[in-house]
Amino acid sequence: MCIIFIKFDPRPASKTAYRLILAANRDEFYNRPSKPADFWGTNSDILSGFLVSNYLVDTDLDCYSYLKKVSTEGHLYNGFNLLTAEFKAKQDHVCYYGNRGSTEPMRLKAGIYSLSNSLLDTPWKKLLQGKRHFTSVVNNQPLSSDGLVQELLAVLNNEELNSPDPAQESQGEGCSKSMIQAVSAVCVRTPDYGTRTNTIILIDAEGNVTFTERTMLSCDTNNWCTSSFRFKLHT
């Protein structure tokens, strides 16, 4: 049960502000094979640890048009959410589509958003709690990029339970009571399943990107590796 918090500000008021702040957790079984985020082999323009290659590699469509295309086939798939974005010199765009909601993608306005295993800004208790903490951090400007990353990691690793929550629990059919309770936290912890990656992406007013990933090693919740990439956007 993954979770994402986003602050999108396409026209930041100062050079110390950020056009995008994204903080996300990836939750899954600890023993599922995966690779850490890195630049793709010969294609050094793509930094990724996920499977959104159609948009990153195989299309010339803008971010909204790509989601519009995806939406025409949304009924063919199990539930999913997809965020796309473009950061350019003239204008920034972040767009969202969930195939269990509106048939049309959304262009996100400047603001703060949260997303988990439902539609954008579904008012689950874990999302509301995490969004409050995220908002208090990102609105505490100015922070250095390193300081902001550390504050956001604290948001992502909050293991406080947010149960009972009937709205969230309605999606837990077939799960044990202990699992339903465990996934009510922003940071999920069970013996075999839970949060195994934290990802933070910062894009500042001048197009400088900080990409930080903290990844669990050897299925051990006490053993983590942190990687950081810094580069400038091509505009």
In this predicted structure, the answer to whether residue 73 has a pLDDT above a threshold of 80 is yes
Q: How confident is the model at residue 228 (pLDDT cuts 50, 70, 90)?
A: very high
Q: 121-156, pLDDT tens digit by residue?
A: 999 999 999 999 999 999 976 778 899 999 999 999
CATH at 164: 3.60.60
pLDDT at position 141 is: 64
Q: 26-41, pLDDT tens digit by residue?
A: 999 999 988 888 887 6
Q: How confident is the model at residue 47 (pLDDT cuts 50, 70, 90)?
A: confident
pLDDT at position 171 is: 80
In this predicted structure, the answer to whether residue 51 has a pLDDT above a threshold of 60 is no
pLDDT at position 155 is: 98
Residues of the chain above pLDDT 90, percent: 71
pTM: 0.93
Q: How confident is the model at residue 42 (pLDDT cuts 50, 70, 90)?
A: low
Once rounded to an integer, what is the mean pLDDT over residues 153-177?
A: 90
In this predicted structure, the answer to whether residue 10 has a pLDDT above a threshold of 60 is yes
Q: 181-225, pLDDT tens digit by residue?
A: 999 999 999 999 999 999 999 999 999 999 999 999 999 999 999
Q: 78-122, pLDDT tens digit by residue?
A: 999 999 999 988 899 999 999 999 999 999 999 999 999 999 999
In this predicted structure, the answer to whether residue 25 has a pLDDT above a threshold of 80 is yes
- Domains of the chain: total: 1
Domain span including residue 140: 3-232
User: 207-214 long-range CB contacts below 8 Å, 24 or more apart?
Assistant: 207/19, 207/87, 207/232, 207/233, 207/235, 208/232, 208/233, 209/233, 210/145, 210/149, 211/37, 211/47, 212/149, 213/36, 213/37, 213/49, 214/153
pLDDT at position 16 is: 79
